[in-house]
Structure 1
Amino acid sequence: YKQGISLLFFSTSSIHHQHCRQPIPDPPTLPTACHTVQAGTQTMEGAAATHGFLTASLLALVLLGPHTSGCHGVRLDPRAAPTSTEFIRTSCSTTKYPQLCYTSLAAYASEIQTSPMELANTALSLALASARSASAVITRASTVGGMAPRDAAAVGDCVELMGDSVEELRQSVAVMGHLGGRNLGMQVGDMQTWVSAAL
């Protein structure tokens, strides 16, 4: 979760909260590919790693990408007329895993359009769903017997850390859905802290 993340946080100076109360979509269910895997196999490791990379990339997008100058996002050069998918691809290019980021968000292009705020909303919701899936993989691994004590302890640590990450992301999603008011700066600061901790 810490691969290649440079923390350049949102600019929050001119978010207009009266336009910001957009509902965040329910986190989608992502495939875990875990129904038949055994602890220690490449399949389980690959599933956990994929979800981990996806979560890291999406959270990097949340931290690096949206510099909001209003709730509808930065107004791009109208002569360029970027499409929503081009906007997503360009935004994802700042992350460690741009293709994984893009393919995950492209399905939501009609909702995101060219709004950095909606991009951040969607990326954060998807990151939460991905973290939950990774947590499920690791929790399943912890219940399989036959591991050496050292391995079992390491998996137990992972279960605890992933649980913390899921909770931190859940709180971030909740804050994102209620930005505004006098405490806007504090709200965004809290969200950034939780997202950073989740990484």
Structure 2
Amino acid sequence: MPRPCAPRLLLAAVLLALAATAAASPANSAAAATDFIRKSCRATQYPSVCVQSLSSYGGSPPPRSPRELARAALAVSADRARAASAYVGRLSGARAGPVRDCLENMADSVGHLRDAAEEMGGSMGRAGSPGFKWHLSNVQTWCSAALTDENTCLDGLSRGVDPATRAAIRGKVVQVAQVTSNALALVNRVGPGY
């Protein structure tokens, strides 16, 4: 009498389940997240900066949706703005004028980016709802204000600042403005249709 096929079928099902689990391994998840970041960053003004800054972002788990990616980009921008503000603060010392004004602009930028990241990370409601649109508008406004603060800092350095100090501050603030611009582009992709 032939043996029943049930044990073979069970073994085949177990092997298929193990293969599916291996395919969803952390390495594949990381590759998928990196691919998602790379594709999303194509919509930004500084795609290589976007990929670099978000790939090194320590968020866990990695961003998998446009909203999570925008939140991560805002967090990166806030961190970079905070570091640039501290740097400008060290350079400003007892100086008055444009460097002190730049420091105030950067402090404002940090606050706007922090508010935007918190709003994006909060309960925004269902995509497309009036509440969601209101929250998203707040994020866009704060992110735009941060970018304006950064550009105002850069514009103010054009007069009354020695070339070495201007170049040092400019290098830091330009990096912040690039990640903020990218964050705003990613925020603008959040919502219905994305």
TM-score (norm 1): 0.50
Task: Tell me the C-alpha RMSD between the 2 structures.
Answer: 2.2
Q: What stretches of structure 1 move > 6 A for 4+ residues in a row?
A: none
For 1:107 and 1:158, locate their aligned partners in 2 and report how far apart those are by CA, in whole Å: 28
What residue is the counterpart of 2:41 in the other structure? Answer: 92
1:188 alignment partner in structure 2? 136
Matches within 5 A, 1:71-90: 83-90=32-39
Aligned partner (choices 123, 126, 142) of residue 179 of structure 1: 123
Q: Distance in 2 between matches of 1:83 and 1:117?
A: 16
Q: Is residue 99 of structure 2 the alignment partner of residue 170 of structure 1?
A: no
Residue aligned with 2:56, SS: helix
User: Which one has a larger percent helix, Structure 1 or Structure 2?
Assistant: 2
Q: Percent identity?
A: 44
Using the TM superposition, give the Cα deviation of residue 118 of structure 1 relative to its aligned residue in structure 2, in angstroms.
1.4
Which residue does the alignment assign to 1:117? Answer: 67
Cα offsets for 1:6-57 (capped at 9, x unmatched): xxxxxxxxxxxxxxxxxxxxxxxxxxxxxxxxxxxxxxxxxxxxxxxxxxxx
- Partner-residue secondary structure (3-state), 2:122: coil
1:186–1:111 distance in 2 versus 1, CA, 3 Å: same
Aligned length: 112
Shift of 1:173: 1.6
Residue correspondence of structure 1 range 3-152 to structure 2 within 5 A: 83-108=32-57, 111-143=61-93, 152=96
Which residues of structure 1 form unaligned runs of 5+?
1-81, 146-151
CA contact (8 A) 1:111 1:118 kept: no
- Structure 2 unaligned blocks of 5 or more: 1-30, 148-194
Give me the whole-angstrom Cα distance separating, in 1, the residues matched to 2:87 and 2:64.
Answer: 34
